């Protein structure tokens, strides 16, 4: 189950495994966000970004076809006591480096400057060797070369948003860097940014 609908495992005629993301009719991701994800992901290629293989729009049906990543998302490892044991420090380090390389590519090295806007453990997928790949570009924004920041409506996940973005809608690459910092704390601490077990005076990992 993804953020905007169900995700199914499939097999192509040449027996290649794929992941098919079917947007729910109740999804908050509209046609604009769907096309945004298609256009942005199709235009970038990096080993630390999930690979889009195709898409389909027919009536109300909207499908995205991605490479299949057998280990699902990072949160399934981080916040499960049993699976967490598979993440030794070297593996965690490699995951962190992979995410940072993917972000560097989006922000600086790609022919398009892209801000993801929703970096979190759920949107980091892991391949068979636990290499990290950034996924889910439905909220991503394209930046012009001469832009340092823009004013925009707030979208993303609370707890991972930079203060200037969450409160004023001021978006820059620093928003992704902030989200990555929160995710980094989750990887190191092995717990969610918002945890009901925190002391009452502490609301998240940043205050822990």
Q: Regarding the domain delimited by 75-207, which CATH topology (the fold level of the hierarchy) does it fall under?
A: Transferase(Phosphotransferase); domain 1 (1.10.510)
Residue-wise pLDDT tens digits, 66-95: 999 999 999 999 988 899 999 999 999 999
What CA–CA distance (Å, rounded) separates 37 from 55?
10
Q: Regarding the domain delimited by 5-67, which CATH topology (the fold level of the hierarchy) does it fall under?
A: Phosphorylase Kinase; domain 1 (3.30.200)
Look at residue 76 and give its three-state secondary structure. helix
Residue that is written with structure tokens 């759920």 in the block: 122
Question: 67 has which bridge partners?
Answer: 18
Q: Above 90 in pLDDT, residue 123?
A: yes
Decide: 114 and 44 in contact? Cβ < 8 Å: yes
**What pLDDT sits at residue 9?**
93
Residues marked as catalytic: 118
**What pLDDT sits at residue 34?**
77
Q: Return the domain boundaries, the chain.
A: 5-67, 75-207
Q: How confident is the model at residue 27 (pLDDT cuts 50, 70, 90)?
A: low
Look at residue 54 and give its three-state secondary structure. strand
Residue-wise pLDDT tens digits, 41-63: 888 999 999 999 998 888 778 88
Angle between helices 173-189 and 89-104 (to 10 degrees): 170
Q: Above 90 in pLDDT, residue 36?
A: no
Cα-Cα-Cα-Cα dihedral sign, residues 81, 87, 93, 95: negative
Residue-wise pLDDT tens digits, 134-154: 998 888 888 876 666 667 778
Radius of gyration of the chain (CA): 17
**What pLDDT sits at residue 148?**
63
Residue-wise pLDDT tens digits, 154-203: 888 888 888 888 888 888 899 999 999 999 999 998 888 776 565 555 56
């Amino acid at each position: 189950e993804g953020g905007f609908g169900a995700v199914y495992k499939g097999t192509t005629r040449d027996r290649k495994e794929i992941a098919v993301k079917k947007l729910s009719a109740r999804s908050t991701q509209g046609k604009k966000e769907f096309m945004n994800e298609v256009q942005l992901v199709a235009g970038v290629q990096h080993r630390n970004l999930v690979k889009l293989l195709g898409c389909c729009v027919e009536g109300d049906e909207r499908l995205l076809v991605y490479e299949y990543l057998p280990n699902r998302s990072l949160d399934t490892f981080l916040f499960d006591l049993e699976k967490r044991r598979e993440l030794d420090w070297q593996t965690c380090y490699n995951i962190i480096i992979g995410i940072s390389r993917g972000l560097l590519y989006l922000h600086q090295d790609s022919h398009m400057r892209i801000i993801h806007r929703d970096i979190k453990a759920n949107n980091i997928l892991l391949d068979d060797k636990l290499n990290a790949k950034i996924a889910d570009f439905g909220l991503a924004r394209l930046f012009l070369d001469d832009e340092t920041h823009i004013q925009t409506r707030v979208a993303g996940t609370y707890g991972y948003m930079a203060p200037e973005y969450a409160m004023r809608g001021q978006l820059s690459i620093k928003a992704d860097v902030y989200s990555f910092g929160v995710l980094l704390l989750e990887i190191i601490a092995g717990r969610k940014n918002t945890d009901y077990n925190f002391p009452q005076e502490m609301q998240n990992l940043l205050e822990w």
